[in-house]
Structure 1
Amino acid sequence: MSEFTGSPPEALVFYDGLEADNSKAYWTDHRETYEKAVRGPMVALLDTLEPEFGEPHLFRPHRDVRFSKDKSPYKTAIGAHNESGGYVQVSAAGLMVASGYWQTAPDQVERLRAAVADDVTGPKLEALVEGLRKDGYGVSGNRLKTRPRGYDADHPRIDLLRHRTLTVHREFGEPPWLAEPECAEQVATAWREMRVLRDWLDRHVGPTRLSQDRRR
């Protein structure tokens, strides 16, 4: 396991260039930079976080363009997650961390809305979302533009009821500690603070119980 010493400025420069020239030629010419300044530090970061946050998963750099009009071959960020922590990403914009439920099946959406509407669990979610926002986190997700069927438009938690997914994130940008070992503790601290939302979701929504072909 390599020691994590921070995410160097070269990582942001690499993605700044990739945004301008998302081509195989650019990737090939800068492959060494990607391995040393982007992928290597991210793997080291995940390894550092693994004892507390569980098994890591690094997302592949290539985009799936089969069903997309955008045929750009490469993702303009390196993203990864630890199973009991959250998501972490480095791009030209710097560091971003997140947690929550990014994808939900129909049965999960039903349980989410039932818990939001409940007069006990709903206000608890409302309070923790407010607390996260006061602490500088953004709370977002995939939302309906109108009220969900079966719920009144004047429901006191109608904004939360519109959510199909629910996530929390923080954009750190390029702080001085990004290129230092301290970066690992900053990510860990954010994941710990964001855990309140994930805990609520795990308790009241949980994993889907549908078969694979019924999850859309």
Structure 2
Amino acid sequence: MPNTIPKETLTFFKQLSKNNNRDWFNDHKKEFKAVEAEVKQFYNAMFEDLNKHDVIDKFKLFRIYRDVRFSKDKTPYKTHFGGSFHRKKPELRGGYYLHIAPDNGSFLATGFWEPHKDDLLRIRKEFEMDDKEFRDIINNKSFKSVWGDLVGDEVKTAPKGFNKEHSAIDLIKKKQFIFTKKYTDKEILSDGFLKEVDKSFKAIRPYFDYMSDVLTTNLNGESLI
């Protein structure tokens, strides 16, 4: 069925996790390519839906091959699909991501994974000056019902140049600004999953609009673009 994730996707990855070697993969590469083609259609449908209410300038479906050079895990293949969608810069900031994995390991993620150091400092300076608008957005009842709590890596005490006693230190400490949403295998294989994804991504817009405004202006609110 168009615009759905085929159940063979999860079946393939379950088999691959038990046989994560080049010989097995090469023997089943035709099967993988068939699954990949269908999943790519789903990501393309996401791209089209997102562009109805946002401006996405590029989409990337990550390759299945793992970079094992600096990893203790030397298995050569990923056991999931991952696809990211980038908003049109410089005026629009933030990104969307869908992770498809078996055993209820699928999730959506959105936000800022690795902000550039200048962007990170600008965000922290905004929170240092005023964090109320940001908290109002992420604590909004309807927003929270979709995305839950803000997550992401953070420093232990306070970044250099910031007071560890500041009332917004919980936000200032963050190095990432991410929201995630997990799904069961049954949910991602359902006919309505594409609509669910788009509905959830629509709900993130107040957050993206705020962050885009911050990252395209200085502390006086003057445009940088």
**TM-score, length-normalised on structure 1?**
0.81
How many pairs align?
200
Alpha-carbon separation, structure 2, partners of 1:205 and 1:164: 15
Pick closer, same or farther for the CA change 1:134–1:149 going to 2, 3 Å. Answer: farther
Deviations along 1:11-44, one digit per CA (max 9) or x if unpaired, are 222222333332212322332332233x123211
Deviations along 1:59-95, one digit per CA (max 9) or x if unpaired, are 1111122233322211221101222361111012343
Q: Is the 8 A contact 1:63 1:73 kept in 2?
A: yes
Q: Which amino acid aligns with 1:30?
A: H
For 1:88, the equivalent position in structure 2 comes to 98
Q: Which amino acid aligns with 1:59?
A: F
Q: Is the 8 A contact 2:147 2:179 kept in 1?
A: no
Alpha-carbon separation, structure 1, partners of 2:99 and 2:170: 27
Alpha-carbon separation, structure 1, partners of 2:83 and 2:41: 12
For 2:186, the equivalent position in structure 1 comes to 175
Q: Is the 8 A contact 2:138 2:207 kept in 1?
A: yes
What 5-or-longer segments of structure 2 have no aligned partner?
A: 51-55, 88-94, 217-225
What 5-or-longer segments of structure 1 have no aligned partner?
A: 207-216
Say if 2:8 is the partner of 1:10: yes
For 2:134, the equivalent position in structure 1 comes to 125
Give the CA deviation at 1:171: 0.6
Q: Which amino acid aligns with 2:47?
A: E
Say if 2:24 is the partner of 1:21: no
Give the CA deviation at 1:109: 1.4
RMSD of Structure 2 on Structure 1 (CA): 2.2
Say if 2:162 is the partner of 1:165: no
Deviations along 1:156-194, one digit per CA (max 9) or x if unpaired, are 221111111211110112234x32442211111111112
Alpha-carbon separation, structure 1, partners of 2:145 and 2:163: 28
**TM-score, length-normalised on structure 2?**
0.78
Identity over aligned residues, as a percent? 23
